[in-house]
Structure 1
Amino acid sequence: MAASKDAKSNASKMHRRSRTGCYTCRLRRKKCDEGKPGCKACTHLGVSCVYKRPMWWSNTAKRAEQKEMVKERIKLTQTAKKTKDASTPPPSLCKTDTFSDSKPSSRTPSVCTPYAQEVNFTQVSPEGYFALPQPEALMSHPPYPVLSPYEVDIKTERQIFINDVPTRRDSTISTFSTFQPPPMGSSCHGFAPESWVQQDYYEMQQESFTEEPVNFDFFDLPHGKTTPNHETVIEVDEVDKPLLNHFIQKVSKLIFPILDANQHSSTRSDIILPALETNKSYLHCCLSVSGLHKKSTEDAPSEKIDEHILRHRYAAISELCAALNEDKNHAQILEATLGMIFFQCSVGRATDSIPDIPWHQHFQAAADLVDRLELPTTVVGAMQCGDVSRPPFNMALTAWIDILGSTMLGRYPRFADTYRDLNIGKGSAGLSELMGCDDKIMFLISEISCLEAHKLEGMDDLVLCDYVKILGHSIGYCEPGPGAVKSAFSGTGAIKPKQLSINVTAAFMYAARIYLCSLVPGFRLDDHNVTSLVNAFCSVMEYIPAGPEGHDRSLVWPLLVVGSVSLSTSPFRSMFEERCTRLGEAANFGSFGRVRELFMDVWLLVDSEAAMGSYQNVSWRDVMRQKEWDFLLI
């Protein structure tokens, strides 16, 4: 009797999974995008996509037979694709390796090597990469202060359904403290009482906003999402409450602006606050970042702020070391380590000289954790199964840092093989949703970075030019069509996330072309093709929101690449200064402020060379070395 009930329960769950998806996806228990005449999953796997109820659906035995037939068909399709890829492989510029000892790789041969020797995970310790001397000024502070509860946020959500179809989602976040109540009439996000919810509702009526549904569960987060009525409790010492307040109210909204646009500002409540509550190392990392931002934007006593910054940096490292020594909580360690790398890009000035571990040493440990957690296997495996939903959030952030960070150092991306596999299989790592640039362009930037590393190792010029031509054609396939780049604002003034992503992708695409062209021997800044690309980039920037609430700080890398090749007569310089003016004080800190400082030295060299009739490229990387800067400019 119990077995019969379980069978009925399982059957009921299967039928409730999807009422409108194709029956093949229902059979495979996979999410269906309901594409017509065939959904993407079935088309990709080469299986029959059926929307009309088939005869075998109501028969358990027939359904099991059909499932086995579909599995066999998928195996045959994947085998055929691998055979085809092996017979006509696209040129590879990245290293090849297996994800694990037990799973052989089907990748094509390659001639590259990784940009850094693999670090034995068990050897990462305070005596190794995490070694950070404890400052003498902090010896009087206990390593773990007395903790007291500090209430931060309450989030409530309400969703309206019409005929079982979600049409509207209301989300309210209240920020308060038991010690300091919020000012009356204020909003935790700084929005007017008519928040984005009302804007979205009217857009749905006027502009068919339902074509851009918000997927609040797009990423697979390293921690569980809080329930709607969950009260976040973050424990900090009394002296650190101003830093926590400052981080939540001022810094958190700077970190993932594109993701906030896609998720309607839910990243703070869904990603940052849960991590602050459960991950001590992450909390100390954020408090040190808050101190850096406070130091850059307020007239706070420098010595006192520096003391807090160093104290929390040391506490974060100590927590990480303890977890590493215990060989547990790998996802939390990775989350905190990525925060130490990425959050620094939003705060601080180029002149800050507080001791810190270089970002690429942090990343080396983070990459080992990514391998340990088998995140590359997860995203590639999901692509091969036709299931591209819920990519790991930490893998997406790792990929962003890895790809653009490799261009900072002139080295191979650590996971270049993974990006190439995803590019060939038309997979996604979630980069578009996270940072705004389409995955295909980012994967091609990874290939260009590999090509530059080969060039620095002495690749033959003729071979180099062949690869440049091939990659140039590949970028051409990603060119936005006529009229694709346009205003990212709706009639009500709200951001349209998909259009914003198209515009941001176009900016990265032109920067990628310039980056690729700069590898060609004899590259000149006054070449017509180069100046045309710079002009095209400036045109795209007209459609990307500027100012404190804009997205300039999400475009640091393309601004760096394009700005470094702009001449004094180029429209880029006037465009950049105008956007700096609109950005205000925020243009002076974070990666954007560092690039602005870097341009002063680069343009001085460019202009002096041009005055003598020389238009050879000036390496911004060389200028950074001369200034002893070791920044991640993304």
Structure 2
Amino acid sequence: MSTQPPNPQLMGRTNVNMAVAQPKQKPASKATAASKAKMQMHRRSRTGCYTCRLRRKKCDEGSPSCTACKHLGLRCEYKRPMWWSNNDQRRLQKDQIKMIIKRKKLSEKTSSTTTTNQSQVMTPGAETPPGLSHSLPTSATFSDSLDRTRSASIDSQLSLFDFNAPPGIADYTEYNAQMHSSHSQYASMYPEFSPYEIDVKTERQMFVNDIPTRRESTISTFSTYHPPPPPEAMLPSFPADNGWDETYDERRESMAEENLNMNLFDFAHGPPSSIRQVAIELDEGDQRLLDHFISDVLPTVFPILETNQHGSARTDYVLPALQSNKCYLHCCLSISAQHLKSTMNIQGEQIDNDIMRHRYATISELCEALNQDTDHQEILEATLGMIFFQCSVGRYDDSLPDIPWHQHFQAAISLVQKLDLSRLVLEAQDHKQFNMTLTSWIDILGSTIQGRAPTFAHTYREKHLSSTNSSIGLRELMGCEDRVMYLISEIACLEALKKDGMDDIQLCQHVHALGDQIGLTEIGESGPKIPFNAQGVLSPKQLSKNMTSAFRLAARIYLCSLVPGFTPSQASCVGLVEKLTQVLEFIPSGQVGFDRSLVWVYLIGGSVSTAGSTFRAFFDERLMQLGELANFGSFGRVACLLKEVWGHVDGRFSPGGGEAHYVSWRDVMQMKGWDFLLI
């Protein structure tokens, strides 16, 4: 693959500077400060705040917030916000404001009603109910048998399948829209999760015969703010009639957030920093790809990590790697072009050339570095990017040539061993090696895709058996508790032994033992709950608990499938799939939800769901809520795979359309020639 040499007489030079927008401290004279303040007051007097303008209400132009915005708890903005110039975003912002006003009025009404009822029943000497009881009902304020139900212990090999299903949730209405609110509204309360912006500054200097002529400078701003889930989100709501006094202690304990370790990961680029400056030379076409990667691809890659350590993946991992790691840069530009093609439905030679040009450059850089046996950390970053970023882009029927993910992973394994990361994982106390954590996630779930034992299964086993320091950061990175992931690794090892000829009796004994181990991870768990507090702010801790419950049930299904004579129509399997469907109800859906972080769970549960299972209707609903995002990345691939599996299981794809025998999802992948990493 060749490129045209630059024209020595006329050549453009491009420098790109990226930084997380931070308040700049510059010395200024008193006259300058007064002048700026006067200009800003003049601008306010002409316009009012943009929130009042959107509502078409008169603004008293109070500082720092006008009276109307302060009363409603709205974000008062005198500087032109990003949503103002986009009609769709402006309409969404208006709907959000209406929702906040409606919730405010309902809260005031609830508070008034509660106060009236208390005055009627309060007797002398009675204690005043806690102020929290005036909040809207949430999962933390409602207690039912679902919170206290967990899978029954295993008494025998056959009783492995006898799990107590929680009560049905058909009586729950759709998730109450009043529980949702804009994240930015609570920025002052939760500054560590506040949205911020990334500024990409592009400078172009034109030279003619080495003499500088025209100079251009442009700035592109990318915001990390995401709108809240739509009102029609699907999480179940709860009855308004709660026993406040009886559940207060339980409510207070369940809503107490853990202290998050904001510096959990070592990103191999030095200590965490609140600002990053990156200088890269790119032509105009590649600059467009980089802009798209930062604004559209990057926010979708680590959604769980974003809830725990907002912005850390961008500022401490991706942006520094883009500057210092040329191989990683080519990888990201290739992924960006692939994402553009699939999301914008762009066709033609140009976009295909962009994909293949950077893909080829990435592979060339990787091979050269591997041959020189240098820069192991940088090569590992790029290799993991080639594997994991692919899970967010592309369609199942992509026809452009590429290297299978597991061949990339073989190189990653070699690099992990050269860097001795598995030993560092065993010795780590507080900080986790980010590259090793991401490697472990791919290793464990990727091994289940291929039906083999994980490469670093011994490391996971040692961590699982460790009485202390058992985490390697899997929960913070991807949502599922580390202990459950270790047990999925053990199940994959058992499947590999089954393939090697383990006898049925010994196999069932191991299934029994692993079932017991899964049960131990449920001790003390109260069941899934709505992962939002009364103000509509997402609780990372509760979200992780819900996701862990989903992975745990998928692990049970995976384990049960190893038992000789297993079929999806068995009552035990049907019950597990139904219970999984109920747990998934508590995972936020839609384009800002977390369904795309549960691809493996959907694969395992969906592959054994029968024709009458509620799972299928639930999955179709989630597809509709994702919209176009459901068609690409790993989620799009698993959706196509499940449709094929269901066609065979239901007999639609069998000769004559009669009833078909159980067909595993791996058999279907092999028949279709698919080689996907479904995580």
TM over 0.5: yes
Query: SS in structure 2 opposite 1:488?
Result: coil
Deviations 1:590-609 (A, max 9, x none): 00000111111100011018
Shift of 1:229: 4.1
In the alignment, what sits opposite 1:323?
Answer: 369
Query: SS in structure 1 opposite 2:522?
Result: coil
Query: SS in structure 2 opposite 1:150?
Result: strand
For 1:329, the aligned partner's letter is D
Query: Does 2:316 align with 1:270?
Result: yes
Query: Does 2:672 align with 1:627?
Result: yes
Map of 1:312-461 to 2, 5 A cutoff?
Answer: 312-382=358-428, 387=429, 389-426=430-467, 427-461=470-504
In the alignment, what sits opposite 1:238?
Answer: 284
Map of 1:24-423 to 2, 5 A cutoff?
Answer: 138-140=1-3, 148-156=14-22, 169=192, 172-178=196-202, 181=218, 188-191=223-226, 211-225=257-271, 227-382=273-428, 387=429, 389-423=430-464
Correspondent of 2:662 among 603, 608, 617: 617
Contact 2:607 2:642 in 1 (8 A): yes
CA distance in 1, matches of 2:543, 2:190: 22
Query: SS in structure 2 opposite 1:178?
Result: strand
Shift of 1:482: 6.0
Shift of 1:188: 1.0
Contact 2:391 2:633 in 1 (8 A): yes
Contact 1:564 1:618 in 2 (8 A): no
| Distance change (3 Å), C-alpha of 1:167 and 1:291 | closer
Deviations 1:245-278 (A, max 9, x none): 1100000011111111111243222221111111
Contact 1:594 1:633 in 2 (8 A): yes
Q: Percent identity?
A: 51
For 1:451, the aligned partner's letter is L
Contact 1:225 1:274 in 2 (8 A): no
Shift of 1:207: 7.9
Correspondent of 2:507 among 464, 468, 482: 464
Unpaired runs of at least 5, structure 1: 1-137, 159-165, 194-205
| Distance change (3 Å), C-alpha of 1:573 and 1:442 | same
Coordinate RMSD, CA, aligned: 2.7
Correspondent of 2:638 among 591, 595, 619: 595
For 1:266, the aligned partner's letter is S
Deviates more, 1:503-512 or 1:419-428: 419-428
Query: SS in structure 2 opposite 1:149?
Result: strand
CA distance in 2, matches of 1:357, 1:142: 29
For 2:533, the aligned partner's letter is S
Contact 2:269 2:316 in 1 (8 A): no
Query: Does 2:547 align with 1:474?
Result: no
For 2:675, the aligned partner's letter is D
For 2:419, the aligned partner's letter is L
CA distance in 2, matches of 1:577, 1:481: 33
Deviations 1:148-181 (A, max 9, x none): 31123334389xxxxxxx9954674332333685
Query: SS in structure 2 opposite 1:608?
Result: coil
CA distance in 1, matches of 2:638, 2:387: 17
CA distance in 2, matches of 1:352, 1:441: 33
| Distance change (3 Å), C-alpha of 1:380 and 1:616 | farther
Contact 1:235 1:277 in 2 (8 A): no
For 1:250, the aligned partner's letter is D
Contact 2:14 2:202 in 1 (8 A): no
CA distance in 1, matches of 2:279, 2:260: 27
Shift of 1:191: 4.0
| Distance change (3 Å), C-alpha of 1:353 and 1:416 | same
Instruction: Provide TM-score, normalisation by structure 2.
Output: 0.65
Query: Does 2:618 align with 1:583?
Result: no
In the alignment, what sits opposite 2:136?
Answer: none
Unpaired runs of at least 5, structure 2: 25-188, 204-216, 229-250
Shift of 1:235: 2.9
For 1:551, the aligned partner's letter is F
Deviations 1:26-69 (A, max 9, x none): xxxxxxxxxxxxxxxxxxxxxxxxxxxxxxxxxxxxxxxxxxxx
Instruction: Provide TM-score, normalisation by structure 1.
Output: 0.70
Contact 1:154 1:232 in 2 (8 A): no
In the alignment, what sits opposite 1:109?
Answer: none
| Distance change (3 Å), C-alpha of 1:191 and 1:255 | closer
Contact 1:423 1:443 in 2 (8 A): yes
CA distance in 1, matches of 2:13, 2:551: 45
In the alignment, what sits opposite 2:589?
Answer: 546
CA distance in 1, matches of 2:609, 2:256: 41
Structure 1 runs (4+) deviating above 6 angstroms are 206-210, 609-615
Contact 1:525 1:616 in 2 (8 A): no
Higher relative contact order (CA 8 A, sep 6+): 2
Query: SS in structure 2 opposite 1:211?
Result: coil
Contact 1:396 1:429 in 2 (8 A): yes
CA distance in 2, matches of 1:612, 1:356: 36
CA distance in 2, matches of 1:301, 1:260: 32
